[in-house]
Structure 1
Amino acid sequence: MIEKDTLLFLGTSLGLLILIHLILQFALPQIVKLFYKPSSSRVKRSIGKFTQSLKWGFFFAVFPIIEPYFSPPNLLYIGRQRFFVVLSIITLTWIIIEFSNVIRHIFLEKFTYDKEDNLRERRVITQVAFIRKLFIIGVVVIAFAAILMNFESARKIGTGLLTSAGILGIIIGFAAQKSIANLLAGFQIAFTQPIRIDDVVVVEGEWGKIEEINLTYVVVQIWDQRRLVLPINYFIEKPFQNWTRTTAAIWGTVFIYVDPTVSVGEIKTKLKEILEATPLWDKKVQVLQVTDWTEKTIELRCLMSAKDSPTAFDLRCLVREELLLYLQKTQPNSLPKSRVLMEKATGKQED
């Protein structure tokens, strides 16, 4: 049978848990708002998760302090039991991780890459994301070690491992060679930054944007919404194209093949009209040149500039359509054609 004092203690503990939870449910959000008023949805969500972790954190911090005042004398203190200590370590780890998430979103609130010139923002976002991942790994490792220290058997295992650390280190070094190489490549990418979040790249023959940079791999969002996942050391060891390394501006080309009788000057004038009439052109580069001449056609290259690669693609398509329509209406004979020369036979017919 459970004694009345024990039942009273358990009931009081449960009531205390509910009371602390209810108080923190309403008090913590108000306290946080006194110091900071979130403006973005990401910051609001991160603060909500942080306050949720604090509710349990305060309970595990306050409970061992007040427990001796109402715990039965013949009952061991729960706050000193191993499972309670482990729960406290887990909760503290949870609080630290959520707090780092709040700090990250508050710091990055002024850095958004939803604008035309976002080179600085993408650089900072990439570095902060990588540093936070390393920080979380360090916190989890320390918490796991602290939990193991509460178990005598785990401490003995740790002592045995330390005596064979030389052999174990060699084995782990060979087994984790690629993982360590990826981790070091992640450090190099985070600070030298051959790629950044939202960079436009061409890898493995695919055009896309850098969506995620993790500790060991990179996710590229392909233009048709597919995802290309590559090991992070790919961007250290293999060549690739980065179209937004220093700026997002890019030049686009359109090749037109027409008959040699075409009026190149009129097409130049028409190209200028097309570009000046569209907001896709950034008004920096506008060139039309004859770049090749074969026995059947001449090659015209139209060169134009745009603020970024998606805009350049749309601009090139527009120029092709407008020039084709112009040639069909004004110079239909200048479209590519094949010529056949037929000569009448002059030989005499024999009887």
Structure 2
Amino acid sequence: MLRPLITLLATVVATLATGWLVDQALQRAAARHPDAPVWPLLRRCRVPLQFVVASALLLVARPLERILDVPDAVPHHLVLLLLLASLGWLTVRVVAAGLEAVLSRYETVADDPARMQRVHTRISMLRRVVSAVIVVVTVAVMLLTFSAMRTVGASLLASAGIIGIVAGIAAQSALGNFFAGLQIAFGDTVRIGDTVVVDGQQGTVEEITLTYLVVRLWDYRRLIVPVSYFVSKPFENWTRRDPGLLASVILHLDHATPVDRLRTVLHDRLADNPRWDGAEWALQVVDTTPSTMVVRATMTARTPDDAALLRFEVREQLVAHLRDHHPEALPRLRTGEA
């Protein structure tokens, strides 16, 4: 009885020592290569690695059979299942760390926000797909360790066609969303950070999964939209190629408005506003009516949020200037005898 306890204790010590040594090695590698993000990310794999080491040692040494005084097959099978689950867990962590390292590395060298959003979306979707595949394969391998599963394998294969048809019909919506998610990830129709308009509601894409998208609205509500919506229905994407937008302000003014002076005021206000990107601006009379004329001020901004705020601020500033310096420019209702 003493020997199995010593073996179990040695397994625990070896597991802790392995985790500590690997963690120290990763810390030294991170110190030698501070620009490489993969080493700090790999430190997250310490716990699943320790489970792999512990289950592997228990599988080889078999101290539990003697300690628990049970048939060898029961603890051996349980330890084998633990080893397979730990290997799947470790693989998921390693793949996630590798993909996050690629994304972090790309963020340090990329200077195009649109391309950065596209890469971030694809890597996020790829991580979810790979993780799902690893989980499915791990569970399948664990099930194959049961003798009952191997016994009914022939009958399962014989009925695979019928089961596949039934499952396909039952999971048609889920499979449609799954493939739609892959199409979004690699088709570049919508990305994380894009500003979209869905059913008349404007928001920013906050998260993309294999089955749904999370759109954050202007009032911080979250709109959950199935990914199949974005491949079957039209929607507006304001930042697909360029996050910048052209903002416009419409004013209905009197015909006596000094347009040249107002154009100069607009340029001065834009020059002092950090939301204007300095690319384009204009002020034009676009229409007239018997009592007013329609003046449109346009200006560019870097992001949709900046464009919206810039539009509000410019409208307020122009109206305030006309009220204080040119009150005759504000619309008036003329009455008089013919």
TM-score by length of 1: 0.86
Q: Contact conserved, 1:9 with 1:71, CA < 8 A, in 2?
A: no
Deviation, 1:47, is 3.2
Paired residue for 1:127?
Answer: 122
Deviation, 1:157, is 3.4
Paired residue for 1:16?
Answer: 10
Deviations 1:31-67 (A, max 9, x none): 2224445869x96874343111111111122333344
Deviation, 1:285, is 1.2
Deviation, 1:172, is 1.2
Name the amino acid aligned to 2:200.
G
Deviation, 1:262, is 1.2
Q: State the distance in 2 between where 1:9 and 1:220 align.
A: 60
Deviations 1:126-174 (A, max 9, x none): 1111112111111111111111111122223333221112221211121
Task: Give the structure with higher Rg (CA).
Answer: 1
Deviation, 1:300, is 0.5
Paired residue for 1:174?
Answer: 169
Q: Contact conserved, 1:63 with 1:79, CA < 8 A, in 2?
A: no
Paired residue for 1:348?
Answer: none
CA gap of 1:295–1:145, structure 2 versus 1, over 3 A, is same
Deviations 1:155-206 (A, max 9, x none): 2333322111222121112111112211221221111110111111111222
Query: What are the residue-to-residue correspondences of 1:38-53 with 2, within 5 Å?
Result: 46-53=41-48
TM-score by length of 2: 0.90
Q: Contact conserved, 1:111 with 1:125, CA < 8 A, in 2?
A: no
Paired residue for 1:250?
Answer: 245
Paired residue for 1:346?
Answer: none
Paired residue for 1:349?
Answer: none
Paired residue for 1:266?
Answer: 261
1:88 to 74, 83, 91: 83
1:59 to 43, 54, 78: 54
Query: What are the residue-to-residue correspondences of 1:314-333 with 2, within 5 Å?
Result: 314-333=309-328
Within the alignment, does 1:152 sit opposite 2:152 as a pair? no
Q: Contact conserved, 2:26 with 2:39, CA < 8 A, in 1?
A: no
Deviation, 1:228, is 0.8
Deviations 1:264-307 (A, max 9, x none): 11111111111122222122211111122122221110011111
Deviates more, 1:272-281 or 1:8-17: 8-17
1:33 to 18, 22, 27: 27
Structure 2 unaligned blocks of 5 or more: none
Q: State the distance in 1 between where 2:183 and 2:11 align.
A: 47
Q: State the distance in 2 between where 1:98 and 1:229 align.
A: 28
Deviates more, 1:152-161 or 1:166-175: 152-161
Q: State the distance in 2 between where 1:333 and 1:228 align.
A: 46
* Structure 2 counterpart SS, 1:285: strand
Q: Contact conserved, 1:197 with 1:211, CA < 8 A, in 2?
A: yes
Q: Contact conserved, 2:59 with 2:76, CA < 8 A, in 1?
A: no
CA gap of 1:76–1:170, structure 2 versus 1, over 3 A, is closer
1:283 to 272, 278, 281: 278
What RMSD, in angstroms, separates the aligned Cα atoms of the two structures? 2.7
CA gap of 1:67–1:156, structure 2 versus 1, over 3 A, is closer
Give me the identity figure in percent.
32
Q: State the distance in 2 between where 1:325 and 1:231 align.
A: 45
Deviates more, 1:325-334 or 1:148-157: 148-157
Q: State the distance in 2 between where 1:96 and 1:57 align.
A: 11
Deviation, 1:240, is 1.0
Q: Contact conserved, 1:64 with 1:79, CA < 8 A, in 2?
A: no
Deviates more, 1:222-231 or 1:88-97: 222-231
Q: Contact conserved, 1:53 with 1:95, CA < 8 A, in 2?
A: yes
* Structure 1 counterpart SS, 2:152: helix
Name the amino acid aligned to 1:267.
L
Q: State the distance in 1 between where 2:62 and 2:131 align.
A: 32
CA gap of 1:121–1:39, structure 2 versus 1, over 3 A, is farther
Q: State the distance in 2 between where 1:25 and 1:319 align.
A: 60
